[in-house]
Every structure is written in structure tokens, then in C-alpha cells.
């Protein structure tokens, strides 16, 4: 009976924490809500720690029975459980902050500043000997290839080499050009 009560209380507190995590998007949490959140987190973490101890005991029993055959499995399970992605608080300017809104804002600001462009205006390359394209040449780079250019490229390739990943070589493509030219 005790285990059911603990599990029910545990699930209820987890739901309360999840519901409370959504509140700061609309308004700041009150001091009472922060204290309730901290208390619920403490209970949830205590139950999780007990579950970890149970897993450790199960791993020891399983290892005693199976030996080294099952060690990597249980170590993987234990390591996965220990490395959960919880962030209950954050050190901000020397003070420990528990408010989820502040924690989210500080994490966002940290990564936003890490990925900012450091230079507002990039330096230009100034070299007298570097040529540049005129507008007609630049526009020619983005024009689709013509059918005659594609045909010339295909006919310039050796025909009897190994087939490509699709199983065809250029000899086959040249013989069946009338069938392929619409696709190319």
C-alpha cells in the first residue's frame, strides 16, 4: 500500500511541476509557487534516487547470476538514467536562480550571443589584379543548360566504361539518346 501512495504522490507532484512549468509563459511565478515547485522537485528527486538504488541492486543481482554477459546492458541503463537533461536552476551573476522564466531567458541569451555574427560589416577584398564578371557573364552562370550543351557533354564521355550507380553506361545513353533527352 505504501508504494502505491508514494507512486500516486510522485505522479501527482510530477504533473504539478509540469503544469507549473507552463505558467511562467503567461505570468511570473509567485514566491509560494516557487517554494511548492522546489518542494515537489525534492520529493520527485528523492523517489528517482530510490529508483536508481533499485536499479543498482537489480544490476548487482543480474551480474551475480549472469556474470559479465549483462554488465554493459545495465551500465548503459544506469548511465542513461543518470544523464537526464534536467535543469532545476542556474547560476546567474553569482546568484542561484530557480525561476524557470529567468533560467530559460539566460540560457537563450547565452546561446544567442554565442552564435551572433561578430562582424557587422565584413571587410571587402580590394585587389586590382582580380577580374570580375560583367552582368551578362554573371547571368550566364544561372541560366539552365541547353539540350545541345548536355548532348555535347554526353558525347565527350567515353561510352564503354563501368556503369554508374543506376546501372547504365554512356554507350547505352548514347544509343538511346532519343528516349533520354527529354529527361535530361
Q: What is the pLDDT of residues 106-118, one digit of tens each?
A: 999 999 888 887 7
Residue 183 CB burial class (10 angstroms; 0-12, 13-18, ≥19): exposed
Q: Which residue has the cell 538504488?
A: 53
Whether 139 is in a domain gets the answer: no
Q: What is the pTM of this model?
A: 0.34
Q: Which of 86, 101, 116 is the last residue of a domain?
A: 86
Whether 149 is in a domain gets the answer: yes
Whether 138 is in a domain gets the answer: no
* Higher pLDDT, residue 113 or 85: 113
Give the list of residues 6+ apart from residue 95 with CB closer than 8 angstroms, or none.
none
The range of the structural domain enclosing residue 54 comes to: 2-86
Q: Which of 86, 105, 124 is the last residue of a domain?
A: 86
Q: What is the pLDDT of residues 92-144, one digit of tens each?
A: 888 888 888 888 889 999 998 888 877 778 778 787 787 788 888 888 888 88
**What's the total number of domains in the chain?**
2
Amino acid at each position: 500500500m505504501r508504494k502505491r501512495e508514494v507512486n500516486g504522490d510522485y505522479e501527482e507532484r510530477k504533473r504539478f511541476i509540469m503544469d507549473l512549468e507552463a505558467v511562467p509563459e503567461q505570468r511570473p511565478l509567485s514566491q509560494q509557487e516557487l517554494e511548492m515547485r522546489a518542494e515537489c522537485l525534492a520529493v520527485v528527486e528523492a523517489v528517482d534516487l530510490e529508483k536508481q538504488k533499485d536499479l543498482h541492486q537489480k544490476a548487482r543481482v543480474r551480474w551475480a547470476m549472469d556474470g559479465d554477459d549483462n554488465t554493459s546492458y545495465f551500465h548503459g541503463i544506469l548511465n542513461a538514467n543518470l544523464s537526464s537533461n534536467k535543469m532545476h536552476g542556474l547560476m546567474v551573476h553569482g546568484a542561484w536562480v530557480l525561476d524557470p522564466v529567468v533560467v530559460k531567458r539566460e540560457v537563450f541569451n547565452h546561446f544567442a550571443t554565442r552564435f551572433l555574427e561578430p562582424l557587422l560589416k565584413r571587410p571587402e577584398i580590394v585587389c586590382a589584379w582580380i577580374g570580375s564578371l560583367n552582368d551578362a557573364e554573371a547571368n550566364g552562370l544561372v541560366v539552365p543548360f541547353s539540350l545541345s550543351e548536355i548532348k555535347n557533354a554526353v558525347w565527350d564521355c567515353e561510352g564503354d566504361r563501368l556503369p554508374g550507380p543506376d546501372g547504365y553506361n554512356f554507350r547505352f545513353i548514347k544509343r538511346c539518346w532519343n528516349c533520354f533527352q527529354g529527361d535530361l
